[in-house]
Amino acid sequence: MSGKTMWAVAAVVALAGVGILAARKIGSAPEQSRKPWPDVEEKRIMSVLDQMLSGPHSDILSVPPDDGKVLRLLAEATGARNIVEIGTSNGYAALWFCAALRTTGGKLTTFEIDPERVLLALENFERAGVTRLVKVVQGDAHKTVANLKEPIDIVFLDADKGGNLDYLNKLLPLVREGGLILAHDTTDSASRMQDYLKAVTTNPALETIFLHEQGPGIGVTLKKHQIK
């Protein structure tokens, strides 16, 4: 990652971490002890990620490796314990989240409409040894996210770009103060998510920066406070 990207990520992490930790002061679970890196579990996840880059389904990787590293960094540095992903694909981005969740003691709920991709993702999760960290929900996420009830630390949007605003409207009330909403392809697919981009850059309760704009682009939105 470039120095500019690292600086921007560090700023977001600092703000998000304060908000998430503050939200957990009441009724929070005890902090999980951090595991040394890299251990056997870590190496297993990284091995599967490397294999996916050159495997037969490399054309449907949801994010490039550098973006995956950003996802992991944000999840781990903010201590995220409840992550929601819209658009599993073959599970590549989810595995980067899992690399963080194994140290934060968290879980990932990921939504995918394509049954073939669900099977691919489940196979990759099994190979990587992270099935205990992931719940895959098959179906139309515009409908199935209604079943979510718990506070969310990070939302990652990487499905139908024109549907991002609907996902935002449905999930934002569950996002903790200090939580993050991440949107992928904010550069490549900007024309298909203009309504979403307007929403996250004009709402006074949100603060948004854009990373890796020379690539697909990642929109990182911080929920600064609850929306009244």
Return per-residue pLDDT of the chain as tens, 228 residues.
455 545 555 555 555 544 544 444 433 444 444 555 578 999 999 999 999 988 776 676 779 999 999 999 999 999 999 999 999 999 999 999 999 999 999 999 999 999 999 999 999 999 999 999 999 999 999 999 999 999 999 999 999 999 999 999 999 999 999 999 999 999 988 999 999 999 999 999 999 999 976 778 999 999 998 776
- Domain of residue 72, residue span: 3-25+39-223
- Within a domain: residue 33? no
- Within a domain: residue 30? no
- Within a domain: residue 178? yes
Tell me what pLDDT residue 5 has. 47
- Within a domain: residue 174? yes
- Within a domain: residue 90? yes
Tell me what pLDDT residue 16 has. 52
DSSP string, 25-47: TTTPPPPPPPPPSS-HHHHHHHH
Q: Which of 63, 97, 65 is nearest to 81 (CA)?
A: 97
Could you tell me the pTM of the whole model? 0.85
CA end-to-end span of the chain: 36
Q: How many domains does the chain have?
A: 1
Is residue 219 within a helix (H) or strand (E), and if so which, with residue range?
Answer: strand 218-223
CATH number of the domain within which 58 lies: 3.40.50.150
- Within a domain: residue 32? no
- Within a domain: residue 21? yes
Tell me what pLDDT residue 225 has. 86
- Within a domain: residue 151? yes
Residues contacting residue 155 through CB under 8 Å, at least 6 positions apart: 83, 84, 85, 86, 167, 171, 175, 179, 180, 181, 182
